[in-house]
Amino acid sequence: MFPESTRLALTLIFACVLTACGESPSGNADNGDRAAPNPNPFPSTYQPLPSEDFLIRNATVLIGDGNRIEEGSVLVRDGKIAEVGANVEAPDGVEVIDAAGRWVTPGIIDVHSHLGVYASPAVAAHSDGNELTSPVTAEVWAEHSVNPQDPGFAAAMAGGVTAMQILPGSGNLIGGRSVTLKNVPARTTQGMKFPGAPYGLKMACGENPKRVYGTGKGQAPSTAMGNVAGYREAWIKAEEYNQDWQDYLDGDSDDRPNRDLELETLSGVLNGEILVHNHCYRADEMAVMLDIAKEFGYRVTSFHHAVEAYKVADLLAENGTCASMWADWWGFKMEAFDGVRENIALVDQAGACAIVHSDSAQGIQRLNQEAAKVIAAANRGGIPVSEESAWRWLSANPAKALGIADQTGTLEAGKNADLVIWDGNPFSVYTHAEEVFVDGALVYDRNDESRQPTADFMLGIIEVDGEIK
Amino acid sequence: MSRINMGAVAIFLLAGSLPGAAAGAETTAITGAKVYTMGPQGVIEDATIVIENGRISQVGANAQVPAGAEIIDAGGRPVTPGIFDANSYFGVAEVSLVEETVDLFQSGDRYTASFELSEAINPRSTLIPINRIEGVTRAMVAPDANFMPELYTTPITGLGTVIQLGSTSDYVVAKNAALFVKMGETGAALSGGSRGNNVLRLREAFNDARDYAANRNDYDQGERREYSVSKLDLEALVSVLNGRRPLVAEANRASDIEAAMRLAEEFGIRLIIIGGAEAWIVAEQLADARVPVILNPLQNLPTAFELIGSTLENAALLHSAGVEIAFSTGGSHNARNLKQAAGVAVANGLPHDAALAAMTLSPARIYGVDSNYGSLEAGKEADLVIWSGDPLEVTSFADAVYIRGKAVPMESRSTLLFKRYRDLGGDWPPAYIK
């Protein structure tokens, strides 16, 4: 998944973001006596919540990789999936959950959320998602804007979401670093950070940067070509910076380069450690962005929104680039005018990695229903899509796009027990996520109010009939 | 008459769009349907609906199919009235961020209560086919300051018109059927910054209208005091005071809803609440005063301080308290997803039949167009949908849609784009596929 041009000498600087060392608040990486900057100054402090082993039996199990087991079993031990099969025996002392009539799936992973960076209520003081002071702000990190007390996290949990990528907004050409979170309540954002998840970089094509800067501020970029010049200028600077550090760490130069937060992040992309998530609606613009990636030796991990992905689904497949899409949003701006209901299925059919995303505190609560609408539209349009196959759009493919597929996204032995028990077919509007587990811990139970987290903001916020709620 | 002219007439007749011709002159019988009548007959299994001259002539298990009728076998599939979006921008906004295509708001206060959209509506908008092939057949098209509130200087937004989505002529069903105003946070922002001003401005306007109505001659001769709004606006306000039109007040916080109810009571106005996020808190008062609520069943986050009490159970709580509810999610590009929102309301406690009513009969009643639409009963216009399955289910879709008795072509810009790009990799660019 990394560009072939990865420069080994420099991986030390950024390697930690892809490995388990993310948990240790280590100091500077060591390369002889030449030190690279600490790649992980805000380490995850996430600890799994208390859990007990359990065995789910008699459930319709969607593995998440495209397979399905009727009347299947899922055994969870020590927060991990221990065994999945048609009939797993319960080890001694392990609680058995009879899930007859219910469905079990991997937890939903949303690759495109602004929870926390635009926390509810959406007052000006909570507008922390777009650093609209310069078209390239690779130096900002979304995690420093995340308010872990956003009530939207709990609402997403009730919709079966167990992990999500929080992105900066799309007003800038390069908006900054994303962060991948586990959907668990925590006092700090570090307490939600998905251990070992790589960082992402938010880039944006099209109308938004032009509107914010050209129309809004009378400065570049004001055109699509201005956008492209802006990306390329940034990457040229990043290449130079990257080379300077490489020379220094290799001992070819004795001048320790001055640190530059913007270029540090961009270098992380060039070295394959930070994954590019590129807001881009139009087919022709996606093709240009893929060429820019080739010019500078990085990969676009996923296009986001990608309303016209169906027009270049073959190109996405060729480039191994995912498209993260809505089921049916269209028409709210010019670049979204050509939406079709079959978009996600057409991308999938072409062999590209298709993802259902939300970009919405509302939509994130019902991503399973969004997938259901696509299944129906696709089947009606002559593109056969099964339920088990469609679940890849909700967990396995997003996990891949976030670089956490080795830990979550499918119900396979050894992976984290991030899963949902649904009270029926999750592709029905009437179905609820009944129990949601993260690392084997029951973080949400629809039938038990004591297992329904609420944000501080919601506590004692309103009086109803003499009761403070 | 030349042969060419005769041909042109024949094409007009086939298309059913000859000016003056009654829509759907032919007779159609839909048989074997599970009919959700939304009327006194309730749900009828294996029923027949007979459509003559655009209207329903019979509904029931024993309906007689007239000789020569076109017979459509529903094969047990559900049939409901067409969906009615209780608040939309059909025909007055094409691409939301392309200002030239957006007519649903105005700037300044030259017009307030008299601002209307009936002449602004484009019945050839792409939004109409995209939504009607999924079962949306009627809509209230209302001005909306929320689109660009910074341009507004008045909380009195203007008049909304009910349309049907089946024809590019004759699409106005009820012109200027209701007056829309803003209260709550938006209303305050449009009234000088305080909810206090907001109520004052509305009260002042209605007081002026009341005075004007009693003294029209004096006003015309310049012998009346100056009013806060123009003559056109006064006339629109008078129509609300005399009960000819309802007042649709956007209010979400429980106290804002109560303020709207006090204002309505003060002037004897027929009130409809739109928004109503915290309406469940004052459900009993709303039921007692017979005030209907137009709500978005998906609204459950405290995205504003006036929305703190938002809950997915709002629709169910209001219904069980006896409040008439109708649905709108606000986004007309995807009004087709109203049925999903209704399904979510059912998943959160609303009875299935009440959810269907909130998209059909209830909005018709609220806007006073239920004599012709809203239920499948003899005499009403034949707006109906044959669904592939449960109409509220996300995996169901409309198999056939009739508006005023006429089957709509199941095609849209979106279906054509899909066909064009269905199979990539031909020798010629997709531009040649139409």
The tens place of each residue's pLDDT in chain B, 434 residues long, gives: 333 333 333 333 333 333 333 444 589 999 999 999 999 999 999 999 999 999 999 999 999 999 999 999 999 999 999 999 999 999 999 999 999 999 988 887 789 999 999 999 999 999 999 999 999 999 999 998 666 666 677 899 999 999 999 999 999 999 999 999 999 999 999 999 999 999 999 999 999 999 999 999 999 999 999 999 999 999 999 999 999 999 999 999 999 999 999 999 999 999 999 999 999 999 999 999 999 999 999 999 999 999 999 999 999 999 999 999 999 998 899 999 999 999 999 999 999 999 999 999 999 999 999 999 999 999 999 999 999 999 999 999 999 999 999 999 999 999 999 999 999 988 999 999 98
Q: Is A175 exposed, middle or buried (0-12, 13-18, 19+ CB in 10 A)?
A: buried
DSSP state of B282: G
Which residues make Cβ contacts (< 8 Å) with residue B20, sequence separation at least 6?
Answer: none
Q: Is the pLDDT of residue A78 over 70?
A: yes
Residue A67's Cα: distance from chain center in Å? 23
Q: Is the pLDDT of residue A7 over 50?
A: no
Residue of A nearest to B279 (CA): A464
Q: Which tokens belong to B237?
A: 């306000």
Closest CB from B304, B337, B397 relative to A122: B304
Q: Is the pLDDT of residue A40 over 70?
A: yes
* Mean pLDDT rounded to a whole number for chain A: 93
What pLDDT score does B146 carry?
65
Helix (H) or strand (E) holding A293: helix A283-296
Q: Is B424 on the interface with A (CB under 8 A)?
A: yes
Angle subtended at Cα A58 by Cα A54 and Cα A59, rounded to the nearest 5 degrees: 85
Place of tokens 């401005």: B201
Neighbour count for residue A461 (Cβ, 10 Å):
17
Q: Would the CB atoms of B397 and A376 count as touching at under 8 Å?
A: yes
Q: Would the CB atoms of A376 and B395 count as touching at under 8 Å?
A: yes
pLDDT category, A234, cuts 50, 70, 90?
very high
Q: Is the pLDDT of residue A360 over 70?
A: yes
Which residues make Cβ contacts (< 8 Å) with residue A133, sequence separation at least 6?
Answer: none
For residue B113, the SS3 value is coil
Model-level ipTM above the cut of 0.90:
yes
Closest CB from A339, A350, A464 relative to B281: A464
Q: Is B346 on the interface with A (CB under 8 A)?
A: yes
pLDDT per residue over A237-296, tens digit each? 999 999 999 999 999 999 999 999 999 999 999 999 999 999 999 999 999 999 999 999
Do A206 and A281 form a contact (C-beta atoms < 8 A)? yes
pLDDT category, A21, cuts 50, 70, 90?
very low
Closest CB from B126, B347, B414 relative to A341: B414
- Residues of A in Cβ contact (< 8 Å) with B96: 331-333
Which residues make Cβ contacts (< 8 Å) with residue B152, sequence separation at least 6?
Answer: B105, B106, B107, B145, B190
Chosen from A430, A449, A457, A467 to mutate, greatest number of chain B CBs within 10 A: A430
Q: Which tokens belong to B407?
A: 């089957």
What pLDDT score does B149 carry?
64
Angle subtended at Cα B38 by Cα B33 and Cα B39, rounded to the nearest 5 degrees: 105
Distance of residue B176 Cα from the nearest chain A Cα, in angstroms: 26
Closest CB from B127, B394, B418 relative to A428: B394
> What DSSP letter does each residue of B173-228 carry, written as one string?
EEEEEEEEEE-HHHHHHTTTS-HHHHHHHHHHHHHHHHHHHH-HHHHHTT-SPPPS
Beta strand extents in A218-374 (DSSP E only)? 275-280, 300-305, 322-325, 354-356
What pLDDT score does B145 carry?
63
Alpha-carbon distance values, A264 to A136, A151, A243, B103, B127 (Å): 13, 33, 12, 47, 46
Q: What's the whole-number mean pLDDT along residues A42-66?
A: 98
Angle subtended at Cα A294 by Cα A290 and Cα A300, rounded to the nearest 5 degrees: 45
What pLDDT score does A12 carry?
35
Q: What's the whole-number mean pLDDT along residues A182-211?
A: 98
Q: Is B343 on the interface with A (CB under 8 A)?
A: yes
Do B391 and B356 form a contact (C-beta atoms < 8 A)? yes
What pLDDT score does B110 carry?
85
What pLDDT score does B330 carry?
83
Do A276 and A304 form a contact (C-beta atoms < 8 A)? no
- Residues of B in Cβ contact (< 8 Å) with A337: 95
CA-based nearest residue to A18, from A204, A252, A274: A274
- Residues of B in Cβ contact (< 8 Å) with A427: 394-395
Q: What's the whole-number mean pLDDT along residues A442-462?
A: 97
CA-based nearest residue to A278, from A405, A168, A394: A168
Which residues make Cβ contacts (< 8 Å) with residue B239, sequence separation at least 6?
Answer: B179, B245
pLDDT per residue over B126-158, tens digit each? 999 999 999 999 999 999 866 666 667 789 999
What pLDDT score does B357 carry?
98
Please identify among residues 285-304 of chain B the ones whose CB lies closer than 8 Å to any CB of chain A: 298, 300-304
- Residues of A in Cβ contact (< 8 Å) with B395: 372-373, 375-376, 427-428
DSSP state of A135: S
Which residues make Cβ contacts (< 8 Å) with residue B337, sequence separation at least 6?
Answer: A328, B329, B331
